[in-house]
Amino acid sequence: MAERLDGTVALVTGASSGIGEAAARELARQGAAVALVARRGDRLDALAAEIADAGGSALALVTDITDQARAIAAVERTVSELGRLDTVVNNAGVMLLGPAVGAPVEEWDRMVRLNVQGLLYVAHAALPHLIEAAESEPRRVADLVNISSVAGRRATAFSGVYNLTKHGVNAFTEALRQEVTERHVRVSVVEPGAVGTELTDHLRPEIRETARQRFADVEMLHAQDIADAIAYIVTSPRRVAVNEILIRPTNQPGP
Q: Is 194 in a helix, a strand, or coil?
A: coil
**Model pTM score:** 0.95
Question: Do 56 and 27 touch, CB atoms closer than 8 A?
Answer: no
Any bridge partners for residue 146, and if so which?
Answer: 90, 189
Catalytic site positions: 162
Beta strands in the chain (DSSP E): 9-13, 33-38, 58-62, 87-90, 142-147, 185-192, 244-247
Residue 1, pLDDT > 80, answer no
What's residue 245's pLDDT?
98
> H/E/C letters for each residue in 74-138?
HHHHHHHHHCCCCEEEECCCCCCCCCCCCCCHHHHHHHHHHHHHHHHHHHHHHHHHHHHHHCCCC
Question: Do 224 and 22 touch, CB atoms closer than 8 A?
Answer: yes
pLDDT digits 0-9 by tens, 101-110: 999 999 999 9
pLDDT digits 0-9 by tens, 141-197: 999 999 999 999 999 999 999 999 999 999 999 999 999 999 999 999 999 999 987
Closest CA relative to residue 90, chosen from 12, 197, 206: 12
Question: Do 79 and 129 touch, CB atoms closer than 8 A?
Answer: yes
CA-angle at 18, arms to 109 and 116, nearest 5°: 25
